[in-house]
Amino acid sequence: MNIQERLTAFAMLGATWVMWLLVGLSVLSIAIMLERAYFLLSTRDDIDSLRKDLLDNLRRGDLAGAKKRLQSSRSFEASLAMAGLDSAEDGAASATERIAGEEKLARVLMERNLVFLGTVGNNAPFVGLLGTVIGIIRSFHSLDQSQGKVTAGLMADIGEALVATAIGILVALPAVAAFNYIQRIIKTRLSRGSALGSDVIAYLLGNKQSGESRAAAE
């Protein structure tokens, strides 16, 4: 049996398994969407209010109050600013590096399992297309067996081929939409966290300059 005959024999098994595979991918995608939605919702905060409180504490020089306010937040934005405050005694340069490191860790946590969504979104239509190809091969086989007559088996194979493509597209669209939306949320949250971190760095640089000015005056 040559390779063509082997592929034809494989196609005769039908595209039902392809559709079940797509259904399974869809279920996993929805599970990841729900898990990511819960995770992102449970780690969000009112960043405008958080930034206002942080700046108020920093202007008063109340580092303990600033840390307490940041520790009360479960957001990743607060964790970035907290990384900078924890390195306050080491200087602005050290704090900047700590914030950058914390940002990378936050990105990893927020992007967990998104690769799967992206992969499904990009490849589900091709999996559906595989089912379509299998259905078309079976259609030609049925047409050959019926000596050119249109039979119920032939129409069933054609319908199976079309349904496989449709399911592939339906699985891909929500996965792509969720992937893009979550990536947008992650980008926004990291930008806000970076802004809070910049506030901390500005405070540390201001304190350093004030200290140098006092030292020069003395």
Single pTM value for the model: 0.81
**Quick check: is 166 in a domain?**
yes
Spatial distance between the Cα atoms of 114 and 36, rounded to a whole number of angstroms:
9
- Which range marks the domain in which residue 117 is found? 3-208
Q: Please count the other Cβ atoms lying within 10 Å of the Cβ belonging to residue 21.
A: 19
For residue 88, being part of any structural domain is answered with yes
> Into how many domains does the chain fold?
1
pLDDT per position as a tens digit, 137-189: 776 666 656 555 555 555 666 667 778 888 899 999 999 999 999 999 999 99
> Is 85 within 8 Å of 67 (Cβ atoms)?
yes
Using DSSP's 3-state secondary structure scheme, residue 87 falls into coil
Handedness of CA 149, 151, 153, 158 (dihedral sign): positive
pLDDT tens for residues 94-124? 889 999 999 999 999 999 999 999 999 999 9
Give start and end residues of each alpha helix (H) in 12-148.
Answer: 16-42, 47-59, 63-71, 76-86, 92-110, 114-145
Q: Is residue 216 part of a domain?
A: no
Phi and psi for 185 in degrees, rounded to 5? -60, -45
| Cβ partners under 8 Å of residue 153, min gap 6 | 142, 146
Task: Indicate the residue type of 113.
Answer: N
Average pLDDT over residues 33-55: 93
